[in-house]
Each structure stands twice: as C-alpha cells, then as structure tokens.
Amino acid sequence: MTAPTGGGAEATTAPGLDPTGLDPTGPTEADPTEPNPTGPTGIGPGHDAGHAATAGTGPVAAARPGPEWRRLSPRMLAVHPVQETLRALPALLAVLVAGRSSGHSAPWALAGVAVTVGLGILRWATTSYQVSADQVQVRRGFLRRRVVSIPRDRVRTVDLTAHPLHRLLRLSRITIGTGQSDRKEGLRLDGLTSDEAVRLRTELLHRTAQPTARPSAGSSAPSRVGSPAVPPVPAQQTAASGTPDSSAPGSFSLGSPAPALSGVPVPASTPWEPGETVLASLRPGWVRYGPFTLSGLVTIGIVFGFLYRIVSEAHLDPGRLGPLRAIGHQLQRVPLGVAVTEVVLAAIVLVAVASTLGYVIAFWSFRLSRQDSGTLHVARGLLTTRATTLEERRLRGVELSEPLLLRAVRGGRCIAIATGLRVGRGAERGGSLLLPPAPVREARRVATAVLGDAEPMTVTLRAHGPRARRRRYIRALTLAAIVPAGLALLWGLADWPGWAPLVGLLTLPAGALLAADRYRSLGHALTAGHLVVRQGSVVRRRCALARDGIIGWHLHQSVFQRRAGLVTVIATTAAGRQRYTLPDVDVNASASLVDSATPELLTPFLVR
C-alpha cells in the first residue's frame, strides 16, 4: 500500500522525523502489542490500515501489519516556550517596561517559564499515539507512564482547535470525545500537523459514521423506547474508499463522492468537498447581534485582570496616569446623576464593543455542514480556529435559545442536544454549538435542517393554562416582594430612609412582567419524532428532544402543585441537559402526554 500523497511536504515532516531516533520510548512498548511492526514509512501504513478497517473488510484489516506509534509534531517544541512566555508576560512586562519589580517576582516568573518549557518538551517527548483497527491509544507520562485506550466505536466527537501560534506553524490540537458525560474532556493530543489532525479525524469518524445517516433523530419510529438500542452495523463501503484521501492537501474528503443528503443544497458559490452539505455559514451582517450577547463582560473581566496584574507587579499608581486622573476629576466636578449616567453609558459602550469583538473572534468564518458519512461539522474562529465534528447518530435533538436581549432584536442561537455532549455553562461557545447568535429565522432554519424535520420548530405549542399562569405570577411576585419587605423591615428596625421600601416596590411590576413573559413562553407539543418544550423568559429556550432519546420520566408535584392539579413533567435523557422540563402540566393531561411520547412504556400503569 502506498503512503498517501495528500498533505505533501506537511505530512512528510512528522514521519520523516519519526525513525530518526526521536522516538526513545516508542518501539519498546509498542513491539509486544504488534506482531508485525511496520517499517519506517511513517504515517502511511497506519493510515491505510485505518482505511482498510473502515472499508468493512474485517479479515483483511486484521491481517494487515499493526499500526505504529505516532508522535506529536516536533513543531510543538517551538510552541511551548512562546506560550509559557506569554503566560508570564505581565510579570516580564513589569520588569521591562517599569524597570523595577516587586522583590523576587520577575526571577521567579522566569524560572517558572523555564520549568514549564522543560515540562512541555518532556511532554512532547513522552507522548505518542496509535490508531489500530478497533481502538485509539495514547501513551503519555514520564515517571508515571499511562496508556489511555478508547474503543473506536466510542469516539463520538472530534474537535480540532488551533490557536494563532498553532496556526502559524500549521498545527492543531485534537480532542477526541468519547461521550462520557461525566468526564470533562476526552483524549487530547496537543500538537499534530493540521493535515495529520484532519486525517486522524477522518480516520476516527470514518468507521463509526458508516451506518445510515440518521437512525436516531426524527426518522425512526418512537417504538425504540422499551426495545434495546440497536448497535450500528458497519455497512459495506464502496470501493472508492480504498484510495487514500489525496484529493486536496489538507482537505477533509471522504473518498466516496456519494450523492448529497436531502437537505439544503450546497450553494454554488461555496467551494467545498463533495459529499458535504453546507447548512449554514456566517454572514458578516450577523455581527450586529454581537453587542446583545453580553459575552464582552467576560472579556472585559479578563482584560482588567491582566492590566491589574501588570499594574500591581510594577507598583504603578493608576491615579497618577494622566488620562485616568483627568477622568476622575471630570467625574468629581459634575453632579452625581450626570456622573452615574456617564459611567453607565461608558460601561454599556465598552461591553457592547467587547461583545462585538468577542463575537467576531469566536465565530468568524463559522460554517455548519453535514457530511454524507453522517456527521455534523462546525468550523469557526478568527484567531483560534475550532472545528468540531459530531456524529449524527448521537444527536437527540436541537435547542434554540433566545436570551432576552437577543430576543429583543429578533436573534437566536442553536445548540445540539447530543449524547456525550453535556450542556452546561458556556455551551453556546462549546462543542455543541450549531449556530452563533443570528437572526432567529435563520436559527429556526438551521434547527430544521439539522433535525431533518420542520415540525418541531413550527408546530403550535400547547399552552399550560390559567393555573400555570397563576403559578408563574405567584412565584415571581413572591420573590419580587422580598426586596421591598426587607427594605421595610430595615426602615422599621434600623432607621433606613422611608423611600427605600417605596423604591423597592418597583420590583413588583418587574416581577409581574417577568411572570407574564414566562407564561407566554411556556408551552409544549408532541410531534411524530420529537417532544418540543419551550420555556423561560430571561433565556427563552425551545428544545426539541427526539422521542427515542427519552430514557425515563420524572413527574414531580409540590404541595401547591397538587392543590392546583398540576404536575411538572421531566423527560430524562442521556443527551444535552440530561433533563428537559415541562413545568405545570395539567395532571389529567400528563399521563396521556407521557404515554403518547413513549408508547407502551406506561401501558401497564394506566387506568381510566
């Protein structure tokens, strides 16, 4: 078998260095596991072995020589020193710019840099990985050597990240997600050449992505609940897959140019590989939603933290800096009201600008596409690029969320509900992102395209009725009443000014507005394939959860709910938020809702 020609000079760098003595640990441990160690041809055989395995020709794959241990790109050796120096930059800047230092801080910082750079080199030298027909193994550690193995059919997501420095050297960090919800991050290899990383991704997902594109979401009958989950059977691959993906350097081609799936056709203007359907790509106009994401708050926090460190390391007195002092004086001169307004306005402008910048940096050149092999592919990023590939058979639904500010300008965003991708804080920027803040119409279109079913995003939701509305008001107003009540208490007991509780009363109308909006948002529906839930006001979410992704129910009633004849219905799932809640459903409707969503499950427990 010939080595793949794809990647050209890039690809040959790593294998070229492989057999030249830079692999002190490799062969010793690799040998026992491999009956036939491969020659020094580098990536080639291993890569081809992967291909053979994916072709579904089992015996052939087994008979092939075992894959060799590969290592990270030696160019990573250049990355570590720079990275660590950047991290210690505040301390160093203080020394260089201000010419003085707080005691021993700078020498320690330099020593720290030296140690971390040393550790980085050590890490590079001791890390190697191997992809065999049925598992991925990573060996790392110097004193404590560890081998992490992941069965290849457990690989659910592959994430390629490249920081600016990585990009300069054409490197990528690859993170292999195994779908273990409780493990925060999967297997991570920091520093492969980008070509090799892309090839590895193809290799890893090629095999598992064999079965028909979407067996899980939408298309299948909901009868899977109560019957065992059918493990995917690798289908026979066309002969085309035997040829290595040499079509274009650095490309992600899947060998067999099969006809595109039904869905949104590829826009003629987009140059992209065959077998790929672009579902969405960023339009520059969407940047207008940036200011409404408030993501800038975090950025500003980081920048201020950075500045603060420089200032404190260099013993600068911010009050002595000209512009800051001028601002301080100006604020002291004007009346309090004006000063407050000025500060608030300045803060708003700052947050808006930072949020917009953050939007551009995080989401520039965003593109969501579906590959014929049954994966969703998200690529984005201006400086740090990130490409996430997610198997569609792990997809259990889509969540469309509209935070209040974004909703005010008719924006929305989409994230995937997939097993192994637990959704939490920051999910909107993490691996499950399907669409950054964009027009809500676009968000609905993308959700529909990903689900392959228009109904979940268009179906009219069933409202939960006047009793649910009353509960929204009671809860919001009770919470809102705490503020004026507390202030009144302080007025009575601690001589606080009498106007304080009166001002505090303003929380009541705010609470009422919130309650009204929360009720307006609340609703659910059951479509042929999905349970659709919408709720929330500050962040309104419409979640479409595949009915066969529901792996249990929880019906909860508080004392008050029992009096009102309501019940909170919670569908539990292995994907996304793990639980999708329908608050305050009529008790009489709840049983039939659950029964229709997961037929047969409840049958023995139902009575009329």
Partner 1 sequence: MDATTSSDARVLEDAAATAAALRLRDPQHRVSRRAIGYWSLRAGLGWLIPLAVEIVWLVADLDNLVTHVIWLAVTVVVAALHVGIMPQWRYRVHRWETTPQAVYTQSGWLNQSRRIAPVSRIQTVDTERGPFEQLLGLSNITVTTASAAGPLKIEGLDHETAQRLVDELTTTTQANPGDAT
Write down the least CB distance from residue 581 to partner 1, Å.
9
Do residues 380 and 365 touch, judged by C-beta distance below 8 A? yes
Nearer to partner 1, 125 or 225 (CB): 225
Nearer to partner 1, 426 or 565 (CB): 565
Write down the least CB distance from residue 536 to partner 1, Å.
18
Write down the least CB distance from residue 417 to partner 1, Å.
12
Residue 188 pairs with which residues in a beta bridge? 175
Write down the least CB distance from residue 579 to partner 1, Å.
4
What is the torsion angle, in degrees rounded to the nearest 10, for the CA atoms of residue 205, residue 191, residue 30 and residue 1?
60
Write down the least CB distance from residue 424 to partner 1, Å.
11
Nearer to partner 1, 387 or 593 (CB): 593
Write down the least CB distance from residue 592 to partner 1, Å.
4
Q: How many residues does the chain have?
A: 608
Residue 568 pairs with which residues in a beta bridge? 556
Output the CA–CA distances (angstroms, integers) from residue 599 to 163, 223, 582, in the order listed. Answer: 48, 7, 18
Nearer to partner 1, 295 or 419 (CB): 419
Write down the least CB distance from residue 577 to partner 1, Å.
8
Write down the least CB distance from residue 532 to partner 1, Å.
11
DSSP code string of 8-56? HHHHHHHHHHTTTT--SSHHHHHHHH-SS---S-THHHHHHHHHHHHTT
Nearer to partner 1, 372 or 548 (CB): 548
Which residue carries 């940047």 as its tokens? 287
Write down the least CB distance from residue 220 to partner 1, Å.
10
- What angle (nearest 5°) sits at the alpha carbon of residue 106, between those of residues 104 and 108? 70
| Backbone CA torsion sign across 36, 42, 45, 51 | positive
Burial tier of 337 (Cβ tally within 10 Å: 0-12, 13-18, 19+): exposed
Which residue carries 């080595």 as its tokens? 3
Backbone angles phi, psi at 168, to 5 degrees: -60, -40
Nearer to partner 1, 318 or 565 (CB): 565
Nearer to partner 1, 198 or 525 (CB): 525
Which residue carries 């059951």 as its tokens? 526
Do residues 208 and 155 touch, judged by C-beta distance below 8 A? yes
10's CB contacts (< 8 A; 6+ apart) are: 170, 193, 194, 195, 196, 249, 250
Neighbours of 406 (CB within 10 A): 22
| Alpha-carbon radius of gyration of the chain | 28
Neighbours of 240 (CB within 10 A): 12
Nearer to partner 1, 322 or 466 (CB): 466
Task: Pull the structure tokens for residue 460.
Answer: 């009219």
Write down the least CB distance from residue 236 to partner 1, Å.
22
List of residues contacting partner 1 (CB under 8 A):
179, 181-182, 221-223, 225-231, 419, 422, 525-528, 549, 551-559, 562, 570, 572-575, 577-579, 588-602, 604-608
Do residues 215 and 232 touch, judged by C-beta distance below 8 A? yes
Residue 2 pairs with which residues in a beta bridge? none
Nearer to partner 1, 83 or 572 (CB): 572
Nearer to partner 1, 12 or 578 (CB): 578
389 sits in which H/E element? strand 385-391
